[in-house]
Amino acid sequence: MKINFFYKLLIAVTLFSGLFFSCDKVEPPYMNVTDVSDCPAPTFPEITNPEKTLLIEEFTGHKCVYCPTGAYYIHQITQESYGNRVVVLAIHASGLSVPEPGNFNLDLRPLQNIGEDLYLDFQIPAEPRAMFNREKLDGNSFYYSAPDTWKSKAEQVLAQAPEITLQIINDYEEASRKLCTHVRTKFLGPNSQNLKIAVFISEDSIVGYQSNNNSAVGPTPEIEDYVFMDVLRDGFVGTYGEVLTTGNVSQDSAIIRTYKKILSPDWNHKHCKVVAYVYNTDTKRILQAAEAHVVD
Amino acid sequence: MRQRFCLLLLFFITISYASAQSGIEKFLQNSQVSGNFELDGMYYNPDSLIGAPDVPQKLLMNTFAEIKYSNGPFSAGLRFENYLYALQGFDPRYKGVGIPYRYVSFEKDMYSITVGNSYDQFGSGLIYRSWQDFALGYDNSLDGVNIKVKPYKGITLKGIWGLQRFYFTRSPGVIRGFDADLALNEMFKGFTNSDFRVTLGGSFVSKYQDGDDPVYKLPKNVGSYAGRANFVYKNFSISGEYVHKINDPSAFNNRIYKPGNATFIQMTYAKKGVGVYLAAIRTDNMSYKTDRDAVGNDLNINYIPAITKQTTYSLAAIYPYATQPNGEFGFQASTTFTFAKKSKLGGKYGTNFSLTYSQYNNIEKQKIDEFTPLDSTGTLGYKSNFFKIGKEVNYQNFNLEFSKKLSKKIKMILSYFYVMYNSKVIEGHDVPNIHSHVAVTDITININKKHSLRTELQYLYTKQGEGSWMYAMLEYTLAPGWFFAVSDQFNYGNPSKDKQIHYYSVSTAYAIGSTRISLNYGRQRAGIFCVGGVCRYVPAANGLSLTLTSSF
Search chain B and give the residue with CA nearest A125: B430
pLDDT digits (tens, 9 = 90+) for B51-65: 888 888 999 999 999
pLDDT digits (tens, 9 = 90+) for B114-124: 999 999 999 99
Task: Give the pLDDT score at A1.
Answer: 44
pLDDT digits (tens, 9 = 90+) for A61-100: 999 999 999 999 999 999 876 778 999 999 999 889 999 8
State the DSSP code for B345.
Answer: T
Distance set, CA A253 to CA A146, A193, A244, A257 (Å): 40, 14, 12, 13
Nearest to A107 by CA among A265, A236, A232: A232
Roughly what angle, to the nearest 10 degrees, separates helices A67-79 and A150-158?
A: 40
Supply the mean pLDDT for chain A: 90
The span from the CA of B515 to the CA of B208, in Å, is: 44
Ranges of H-type helices in A41-93: 67-79
Instruction: Answer whether B152 touches A (CB < 8 Å).
Output: yes
CB-nearest to A15 from B110, B159, B223 is B159
Instruction: Answer whether B177 touches A (CB < 8 Å).
Output: yes
Q: Is the ipTM of this complex over 0.85?
A: no
The span from the CA of A115 to the CA of A124, in Å, is: 11
The span from the CA of A184 to the CA of A196, in Å, is: 13
Instruction: Answer whether B219 touches A (CB < 8 Å).
Output: yes
Mean pLDDT across the stretch B314-318?
A: 93
Count of A-B CB contacts under 8 Å: 111
pLDDT digits (tens, 9 = 90+) for B147-183: 999 999 999 999 999 999 999 999 999 999 999 999 9
Which residues from A are below 8 Å from B178, CB to CB? 16, 19
The span from the CA of A14 to the CA of B159, in Å, is: 11
Task: Give the pLDDT score at B208.
Answer: 95
Which residues from B are below 8 Å from A95, CB to CB? 428-429
Search chain A and give the residue with CA nearest B379: A30
Task: Give the pLDDT score at B20.
Answer: 59
pLDDT digits (tens, 9 = 90+) for B324-383: 999 999 999 999 999 988 888 888 899 999 999 999 999 999 988 876 778 888 889 999
pLDDT digits (tens, 9 = 90+) for B31-57: 999 999 999 999 999 998 898 888 889
The span from the CA of A86 to the CA of A74, in Å, is: 10
Instruction: Answer whether B112 touches A (CB < 8 Å).
Output: no
> Parallel, antiparallel, or unpaired for β B120-122 and B111-118?
unpaired
Backbone angles phi, psi at A260, to 5 degrees: -140, 145
> Does pLDDT of B390 surpass 60?
yes
CB-nearest to B373 from A114, A121, A125 is A121
* B212 or B125, greater pLDDT: B125
Q: pTM higher than 0.90 for the full model?
A: no
The span from the CA of A194 to the CA of A16, in Å, is: 50
For residue B480, say if its preceding peptide bond is cis, omega within 30 degrees of 0.
yes
How many degrees, rounded to 5, is the angle at CA B524 between CA B521 and CA B528? 145
Number of H helices, E strands in chain B: 3, 30
Instruction: Tell me whether residues B157 and A12 touch, CB distance under 8 A.
Output: yes
Which residues from A are below 8 Å from B219, CB to CB? 23-26
Mean pLDDT across the stretch A270-274?
A: 97
Instruction: Tell me whether residues B378 and A31 touch, CB distance under 8 A.
Output: yes
Nearest to A105 by CA among A27, A243, A207: A207
| Cβ–Cβ < 8 Å for B176, B160 | yes
Which positions in chain A have a beta carbon within 8 angstroms of at least one beta carbon in chain B? Answer: 5, 8-9, 12-13, 15-16, 19-20, 22-26, 28-32, 34, 94-95, 101, 112-114, 116-117, 120-121, 125-126, 194, 196, 238-240, 243, 261-262, 281-282
State the DSSP code for A11.
Answer: H
- Percent of chain B at pLDDT > 90 equals 77
Best probe of the B interface among A4, A22, A262, by most B CBs < 10 A, is: A22
CA distance B147 to chain A (A): 10
Instruction: Answer whether B173 touches A (CB < 8 Å).
Output: no
Number of H helices, E strands in chain A: 4, 14
Search chain B and give the residue with CA nearest A282: B371
pLDDT digits (tens, 9 = 90+) for B338-349: 998 888 888 889
Mean pLDDT across the stretch A20-46?
A: 84
pLDDT digits (tens, 9 = 90+) for A103-121: 999 999 999 889 988 998 8
